[in-house]
Amino acid sequence: MTPFGYECRPLGDSGLVIQLGTSIEVSLLKQIRQLAVYLEKNRFEGFIELITAYTTITIFYDSMLVYSYNLAQNARGKARRNGITNSLLPYDIVLQHIETLMAQYVQQENESQMSELGNIVDIPVCYGGCYGPDLPDVAAYHQVSPEEIVRLHTSSVYPVYMIGFAPGFPYLGGLSERLATPRKSEPRTKIPAGSVGIGGAQTGIYPLETPGGWNLIGCTPLALFRPDAHPPSLLEAGDRVRFVSIPSEQFEQLRERKQDDGL
Amino acid sequence: MGFEIIQPGLLSTLQDEGRYGYRKYGVISSGPMDHFAHRSANILVGNSAGACALEMTLLGPSMLAKEDMIAALCGAETDAELDGIRVPMWRPFVIPKGSKLNVHYAVKGCRAYLAVSGGFKALPIMGSQSTYLRAGLGGYKGRALQAGDRLGVCEPQRLSTSEGFKRFQGEVSTYIRPHYEDNPILRVVWGNEAAHFTAESRSRFAEQSFRVTPQSDRMGYRLAGSQLNPVDGLAQGMVSEAVTPGTIQVPSSGQLILLMADCQTTGGYPRIAHVITADLPLAAQVKPGGTLRFRAISHQEAQEQLLRQAMNLRLLEVGVQARVRNQHG
């Protein structure tokens, strides 16, 4: 079972078992302990208690409380927003609670593991205009303003999963769903170096002038590929990228500086 | 105050709704074997459903009342009498100060519950007044009652309605009571390890009778009957996991164990099925020597039965309160 792969099943008619592994091992023990602490801190209405075992966490709940609270929530319209409907039996309600909590836990774990990754590298980006010709299209696709796209893009920290495709090209993870935009139906024959793009659920920066199908929302004056430097790539797998919006005057300043470096 | 115990009966213990929140420390839930009768008795005297009542097994106690009390008796049919007058079951009755309550034998069923208005006094241990016999905790000094014990009773919550109780008409409808029988069919849901048993084993499980042996108690019933064996290496045991009252384990002997109120929190034997919560009261009323049969139902239906039973008890509570208030005037 992969990390945080899990399966749920009933225990009798008043319990839910979360299966987290298949054999007795210390790494699983640690995972189970941490998850148990998280679940105990985030009790749903009707939660009685949980116990942990070698490969499982078992949740005990008060069926009547779970059921009637869900009915009441549903009557207020809240449950529908959370995706829980009033035709559900207690186990199904609890299962939804657990699935939500597991997703939150995994996200929290990812964030904390992210912080154990490498350096945060701030990448200055000038968004829109001639620097990001596809920004209006991306904004229109998501039915928000271009400023909102910029705000979203700059408010995440993106782990660098790998370098490939072109020298210094970083494959970044962590793009918000609200930014994911399908690749252009017609790839451009030429993308200026430093272009910051969105292709499907990915975001990245083109280090060299290449053809490409991503939506270009901005441009960085930094050089991601420096053949004379050690290492030659600005970014490495495990780094974390943060985009910082800069005005065009600053872009030109930084780019001039870059040209002075002989790059 | 309360009662002085003259004869304690076979196994009489104080139980509230159970000890919850400590399973992860290996602390069992205890509580009543027949939660329906227990809750009914409490509701009938105006207590919260989970208040501390007296569970009486097979032979009940005889006790002297040291004060006036409103009481109710539910569960096994007994020949209980108060100063020679037959005590009605499943409805409240008055116990006058100085009278002697003699519960006698369970004529039908196994466990009867005596609730008094206000609940029995017992120091809560880990949040519960239930008796944990094996650990010697809770209830009355952590043990079953003995001759000479003095059972305290707490002040009733609503003194003003005692008149209403005294003039109470009617009893808990048989419509909502579990279908108590000497040899009941208990509905079950299949356990996680059921798939490790052959189809033939599962058929035998669902068709044949199993006898409750004398080696049966609050922890669990050891059943004698058709031997069931898992088909694969599970016979060597599986990794320990949670079990609950109602869980039916299959040790390597192939003879079933039906876990009950005082069962352990985890176990390593394959779990072929679980008796549904709504039918645990039926199991609780089977005497050693009686037989059980099992019928598998869906997880969905098991939950529906549980909810229906809980709602019936809630309706009973509302009904009793309304009736008591009305009669008070």
Question: How confident is the model over A205-258, as pLDDT tens digits?
Answer: 988 877 888 899 999 999 888 888 888 888 888 888 999 999 999 998 888 655
pLDDT in tens, B41-60: 999 999 999 999 999 999 99
Distance of CA B4 to the CA centre of its chain: 23
Fold agreement (A7-110, A120-261): no
Q: Do B158 and B38 have their domain in common?
A: yes
Q: Is residue B315 part of a domain?
A: no
Q: Which residues of B touch A58 (CB under 8 A)?
A: 241-242
Q: Is residue B23 part of a domain?
A: yes
pLDDT at B254 over 90: no
Give the class (CATH, top level) of A120-261: mainly beta
Region B283-300 average pLDDT? 97
Query: Of A122, A174, A128, which Cα lies nearest the Cα of A148?
Result: A128
Q: Do B173 and B293 have their domain in common?
A: no
Contact B169, B61 (CB under 8 A): no
Contact B259, B248 (CB under 8 A): yes
CA distance A6 to A56: 9
Look at residues B151, B179, B207 and tell me which one is the last residue of a structural domain.
B179
Q: Among A1-10, A154-163, B77-86, B213-222, where is mean pLDDT lowest?
A: A1-10
Judged by CB atoms closer than 8 Å, whether chains meet at B310 and A14 is answered as no
Rounded percentage of chain B residues whose pLDDT exceeds 70: 96
pLDDT at A122 over 50: yes
Q: Is residue B328 part of a domain?
A: no
State how far the alpha carbon of B203 is from the alpha carbons of B10, B194, B290, B294, in Å: 37, 11, 21, 10
Q: For A12, name the nearest residue in chain B, comparing CA atoms only.
A: B274
pLDDT in tens, B106-129: 999 999 999 999 999 999 999 999
- Write the CATH number of the domain with boundaries A7-110: 3.30.1360.40
Look at residues B163, B179, B195 and tell me which one is the last residue of a structural domain.
B179
pLDDT at residue number A40:
96
pLDDT in tens, B194-228: 998 989 999 999 999 999 999 999 999 999 998 88
The complex scores an ipTM of: 0.91
Q: Do B81 and B126 have their domain in common?
A: yes
Q: Do B173 and B235 have their domain in common?
A: no
pLDDT at residue number B221:
97
CA distance B207 to B78: 31
CA distance B224 to A209: 81
Region B4-14 average pLDDT? 98
Q: Which residues of A touch B277 (CB under 8 A)?
A: 12-14, 63
Q: Is residue B123 part of a domain?
A: yes
pLDDT classification of A79: cutoffs 50, 70, 90 = low
Domain count, chain B: 2
Judged by CB atoms closer than 8 Å, whether chains meet at A12 and B247 is answered as yes
pLDDT at residue number A263:
40
Region A180-195 average pLDDT? 88
CA distance B250 to B262: 18
Task: Write b or e for each residue in A135-156: b if 16 or more Cβ atoms lie within 10 A of its Cβ, otherwise e.
Answer: beebbebbeeebeebbebbeeb
Task: Write b or e for each residue in A59-93: b if 16 or more Cβ atoms lie within 10 A of its Cβ, otherwise e.
Answer: bbbbbbbbbbbbeebbeeeebeeeebeeebbbbbb
Q: Is residue B63 part of a domain?
A: yes
pLDDT at B155 over 70: yes
pLDDT classification of A107: cutoffs 50, 70, 90 = confident
pLDDT classification of B237: cutoffs 50, 70, 90 = low
Query: Of B148, B156, B70, B154, which Cα lies nearest the Cα of B120?
Result: B154
Q: Do B156 and B204 have their domain in common?
A: no
The one-letter amino acid code at B88 reads: P
Helices B35-44 and B299-328: crossing angle in degrees, nearest 10, is: 20
CA distance B27 to B221: 20
**Which residue range(s) make up the domain with B165?**
3-179
On average, the pLDDT of chain B sits at 93
> What phi and psi values does residue B20 have, to the nearest 5 degrees?
-120, 150
Domain boundaries, chain A: 7-110, 120-261
The alpha-carbon gap from B276 to the nearest alpha carbon of chain A, in Å, equals 6
Chain B positions with Cβ closer than 8 Å to A: 20-24, 189, 192, 239-242, 244, 246-247, 265-266, 274-277, 299-300, 302-304, 306-307, 310-311, 314
pLDDT in tens, B56-82: 999 999 999 999 999 999 999 999 999
pLDDT classification of A23: cutoffs 50, 70, 90 = confident
Q: Do B152 and B198 have their domain in common?
A: no
- For residue B169, give both structure tokens: 């008409």
pLDDT at B329 over 50: no
Which residue's entry shows tokens 């929290």?
A108
CATH code where residue B291 lies? 2.40.100.10
The beta-carbon neighbor of B299 closest among A10, A17, A64 is: A10
Query: Which of A8, A11, A13 should be substituted to probe chain B, the one whose Cβ sees the most B Cβ atoms within 10 Å?
Result: A13
Q: Do B221 and B122 have their domain in common?
A: no
Q: Which residues of B touch A50 (CB under 8 A)?
A: 24
Q: Do B75 and B123 have their domain in common?
A: yes
- For residue A93, give both structure tokens: 């309600």
pLDDT at residue number A119:
81
Q: Is residue B314 part of a domain?
A: no
Q: Is residue B268 part of a domain?
A: yes
pLDDT at residue number A200:
86
Q: Which residue has the higher pLDDT, A59 or A28?
A: A59
The one-letter amino acid code at B61 reads: P
pLDDT at A29 over 80: yes
